[in-house]
Chains A and B, each alone.
Chain A
Amino acid sequence: MEMVKMTYREALKQGIREALLNDERVFLMGEDVGHYGGAFAVSKGLLQEFGAERIMDVPLSESGFVGAGIGAAMAGMKPIVEVMTVNFSLLAMDQIINNAATLLHMSGGQLNVPLVIRMGCGIGRQLAAQHSHSWEPYFAHVPGLVVLSAGTHEDARGMLLTALKSPDPVILFEYTFMLNMEKEIASDAGAMDITKAKVRRDGKDITLITYGNGVYKSLEAAEELSSQGIEVEVIDLRILRPMDEETFLASVAKTHRALVVEDAWRSGGMAAEVFSRIIEKVFFELDAPLQRLCGVEVPIPYPRHLEEASVPQSQDIVSTIRKMMGL
Chain B
Amino acid sequence: MIEFKMPSLGADMEDGTLVEWRKKPGDQVKRGDILADVDTQKGLIEIEVFDEGVIDTLLLEEGVKVPVGTIMAIIRPLGEVTEEKDIPSAISSEEPEKSEEVPAKTSEEKEERRVKITPLAKRIALENNLDYSVINGTGPEGAIVKKDVEKALAEAVGPSKEMGGFTEKADEAIVEVKKEHKTPPIKAIRTAVAAAMSKSNREIPHYYLEKKIDMTRALEWLTETNSGLPVQKRILPAALFIKSVASSLVDVPELNAEWEDELVIKNEINIGFVVSLRSGGIVVPSLKNADLKSVGEIMEWLNDIIPRSRSFNLRSSELSGSTVTITNLGEGGADKVFGIVYPPQVAIIGLGSVAEEPFAKKGMVGIHPMLYVTLSGDHRATDGLVGSRFLAAMDKHLQNPQAL
Contacts and interface: CB of A to CB of B under 8 A. Distances in A.
Interface in A243-259: 256
B140 interface: yes
Contacts of A288: 118, 139-140, 145
Contacts of B122: 284
Contacts of B120: 256, 284-287
B153 to A, nearest CB: 15
Interface string B119-157: 111110000000000000011100001100000000000
A326 B146 contact: no
Nearest to A323: B140
A289 interface: yes
Given A284-B120, A287-B118, A256 B146 contact: yes
Given A256-B146, A288-B145, A283 B119 contact: yes
Interface string A296-327: 00000000000000000000000000001010
B374 to A, nearest CB: 38
B138 A326 contact: yes
| Chain A interface, >50% SS class | loop
A286 B118 contact: yes
Contact of B123 (A284, A324, A326): A284
A287 B138 contact: no
Interface in A262-303: 283-289
A287 B146 contact: yes
A283 B146 CA distance: 14
Given A287-B145, A287-B146, A288-B145, A326 B139 contact: yes
Contact of B121 (A283, A287, A289, A324): A287
Contacts of A289: 140
A319 to B, nearest CB: 14
Contacts of B146: 256, 287
A256 B149 CA distance: 14
B115 to A, nearest CB: 15
Contact of A285 (B119, B138, B140): B119
Contacts of B123: 284
A289 B145 CA distance: 10
A289 B120 CA distance: 11
A322 to B, nearest CB: 12
Contacts of B138: 326
Interface string B99-128: 000000000000000000011111100000
Contacts of B118: 286-288
27 contacts: A256-B120, A256-B146, A283-B119, A284-B119, A284-B120, A284-B122, A284-B123, A285-B119, A285-B120, A286-B118, A286-B119, A286-B120, A287-B118, A287-B119, A287-B120, A287-B121, A287-B139, A287-B145, A288-B139, A288-B140, A288-B145, A289-B140, A324-B140, A326-B138, A326-B139, A326-B140, A326-B145
Interface of A: 256, 283-289, 324, 326
Interface of B: 118-123, 138-140, 145-146
Given A256-B120, A287-B120, 17 more contacts: A284-B120, A284-B122, A284-B123, A285-B120, A286-B118, A286-B120, A287-B119, A287-B121, A287-B139, A287-B145, A287-B146, A288-B140, A289-B140, A324-B140, A326-B138, A326-B140, A326-B145
